[in-house]
Amino acid sequence: MTVGLHSSSSALLAENISYCIFRTGLTWQAFPAADVREVMPRPQLVCVPHSPLAFAGLCHVRSEFVPVVNLKRMLNESDMQDEQVLLILEDTDGPWGVLVDEVIALQRLEVSDAPESFEEDHSSLVVGWGIHDDAVIQILDHRRLRRLAEGYAEAG
């Protein structure tokens, strides 16, 4: 049963798609694998003066400048260690990156829907839940994540 789920979010939860499962802090999360262009070790980042805390900086990947956000900061998780992995995500106007602690699998998940959130905060990023090796996985919508990061930049 779907409870107030956006139609764009239901596409993220379609059966028989693979997810890129990763960890930020103590939380396990995933993006649909089709949205992840590349996974790489954390590159050198250039800090942008006066940028919001969630914006980690810019990096240069395959002849492109890629803006990078720090997912832990956006989710208000404590920074216990440096994020060591960069996920490069595709969007309509080019790639952007998300720093995470660890990528553990590329796998199909049986996913249940998350209730729709009308708030423009980190709770709106979770569009579903899955299980992998007895761990609960939050399925995230990368487009909502980007909109939220851009909102921080405009407010900052």
Let me know if residue 90 belongs to a domain.
yes
pLDDT level of residue 138 (50, 70, 90 thresholds): very high
- Distance CA(64)–CA(85), nearest Å, equals 18
Q: How far apart are the first and last CA of the chain?
A: 39
The torsion angles phi and psi of 115, rounded to 5 degrees, stand at -60, 150
* CATH classification of the domain holding 119: 2.40.50.180
For the chain, the domain total comes to 1
Average pLDDT, the chain: 83
Let me know if residue 2 belongs to a domain.
no
| pLDDT value, residue 151 | 79
- Distance CA(72)–CA(70), nearest Å, equals 6
Give the rounded percent of residues in the chain with a pLDDT score beyond 90: 53
Give the rounded percent of residues in the chain with a pLDDT score beyond 70: 79
Let me know if residue 1 belongs to a domain.
no
Let me know if residue 39 belongs to a domain.
yes
pLDDT level of residue 93 (50, 70, 90 thresholds): confident
- Distance CA(73)–CA(99), nearest Å, equals 10
The pLDDT of 11-27, averaged and rounded, is 81
| pLDDT value, residue 45 | 96
